[in-house]
Amino acid sequence: MSQTTKLLMPDTEGFEDAARTLHAGGLVAFPTETVYGLGGDARNDHAVARIFEAKGRPRFNPLIVHVPDVETAKTYVEWGDAADRLASAFWPGPLTLVLPLKSDAGLSPLVTADLPTVAIRVPAHAVGRALLNAFGGPVAAPSANPSGRISPSEAAHVVAGLSGRIEAILDGGACDVGVESTILGLSGAPTLLRPGGLPVEALEQALGAPLAHHGKGDPLTAPGQMTSHYAPDARVRLDVTAPKPGERLLGFGPVDCTLNLSRAGDLTEAAANLFHHLHALDAQGDGPIAVSPIPQTGLGLAINDRLKRAAAPRDA
Ligand code: TXA
Ligand code: MG
């Protein structure tokens, strides 16, 4: 995929152009106080799938949803006392809260990797905030770097990494914080999920208690690693070109099937449809599901990763 990536200035015209691009399902890199984010409309499956594709991210890690203020955040998550205290102390700022997702939130399941929680934050950068206000919707954004590369702290880094793969880059100069936000889990006891731009001590002081830590390494890949999480009720058989009697085919490409991930064989479209179609097949009954072969390239890696989890033998 190669396209012209527009470099937008942080003025009225630039914000309007960026907001239009997001509404149309396009991707816009924008500054936050931590790092540049690669933004897409968090309600639009196709836009969110394209974020993974543009980054070359092999797994569907859940993404952080960016909103302009606390009131907007409350429309997507179940709010509570701890969230209230922390948000009034640190938002806007480099703190991400993981909270239970409201059932009517309307976010793409790709944003949350189909988890019952969502990571949400109100960034502090004036340019990022102006974009969120101009757009008026939730923006899903990982750091705006190709997967496995260093996070971008100025627009030129984004140009170097993602030019030709996204619609636009909103230039807001250098990021103050330069390291990603601190992530705090609040769906149970407050738990530090990722250390980041807001010091843990400040959080503990605001909460009046020490934080639980989620262990060493990169615990944040954990939600996506839970095999059972992706398992539908039905048994799942992969790489099927000839379904057996009674099997329902989840197709890819021009095949006869119950539901098709992408008749055109487009992996971005298939990624956008994946969780929706698995849910739909689950709701239709518990007859076995067969799945067409999916190429192991681009977003196909992430799709096959999730499908393998769905097909893995069950514990009980
Ligand atoms: O500063 C930042 O946080 C930047 C800017 C752009 O906001 N964003 C960022 O996003 O660092 P990303 O995608 O690189 O990191 C988000 C992390 C991932 O490790 C993901 O696993 C975790 O947040 N995460 C997202 N949703 C989660 C959830 N529901 N439960 C647990 N972890 C979650
Ligand atoms: Mg990152």
DSSP per-residue codes, 188-208: SS-EEEE--SS-HHHHHHHHT
Distance from residue 181's CA to the centre of ligand 2 (Å): 10
| Cα–Cα distance measured from residue 82 to residue 78, given in angstroms and rounded to the nearest whole number | 11
Q: What is the pTM of this model?
A: 0.86
DSSP 8-state symbol, 151: P
Spell out the domain ranges in the chain.
6-213, 236-311
**β-pair partners for 29:** 38, 169
In the prediction, which pLDDT does 214 show?
65
Q: What are the tens digits of pLDDT across the range 168-221?
A: 999 999 888 877 899 999 998 899 898 888 888 899 999 998 888 765 444 444
Between CA 141 and CA 48 the distance in angstroms is 9
Task: Give the three-class secondary structure for 96.
Answer: strand
247 Cα: distance to centroid of ligand 2 (angstroms): 39
Residue with tokens 């230039």: 171
Half-sphere exposure of 208 (CA within 13 A, CB side): 3
Residues of the chain with pLDDT under 50: 216-229, 316
Question: For ligand 1, what atom is nearest to the CA of residue 177?
Answer: 1
CATH class of residue range 6-213:
alpha beta
Contact 284, 248 (CB under 8 A): yes
- First and final CA of the chain: distance in angstroms? 43
Which amino acid appears at position 128 of this protein? Answer: G
Ligand 1 binding residues, C-beta < 6 A? 32, 34-35, 37, 61-64, 96, 98, 112, 115, 117-119, 141-143, 180-181, 183, 193, 220, 223
CA distance 164 to 50: 13
Choose the residue to mutate in 59, 220, 221 for probing ligand 1, maximizing ligand atoms within 8 Å of C-beta.
220
- pLDDT tens per residue, range 239-263: 999 999 999 999 999 999 999 999 9
C-alpha–C-alpha distance, residues 89 and 202, integer Å: 9
> Angle at the Cα of 92 (from 89 to 93), degrees rounded to 5?
85
The protein residues having their C-beta less than 5 angstroms from ligand 2 (an ion) are 143
Strands 139-140 and 117-121: unpaired
- Residue of minimum CA distance from atom 32 in ligand 1: 220
Instruction: Determine the distance from the C-alpha atom of residue 181 to the mean position of all C-alpha atoms in its chain, rounded to a whole number.
Output: 15
HEC letters along 60-93: CCCCEEECCCHHHHHCCECCCHHHHHHHHHHCCC
- Best of 48, 60, 64, 91 for a ligand 1 pocket test (most atoms within 8 Å of beta carbon): 64
Q: How far is it, in rounded angstroms, from Cα 227 to Cα 113?
A: 12
> Do the beta carbons of residue 292 and residue 257 sit within 8 Å?
yes
Return the axis-axis angle of helices 300-311 and 267-284, rounded to nearest 10°: 20
On whether the CB atoms of residues 170 and 125 are closer than 8 A, the answer is: no
Name the H helices within 173-299: 200-207, 222-225, 267-284
Residue 300 pLDDT: 87
Pocket test for ligand 1, best of 61, 65, 97, 186 (most atoms within 8 A of CB): 61
Per-residue pLDDT, 228 = 43
Q: Are 224 and 203 in contact (CB under 8 A)?
A: no
Which residue, among 45, 105, 114, has the nearest Cα to 268 in the 3D structure?
A: 45
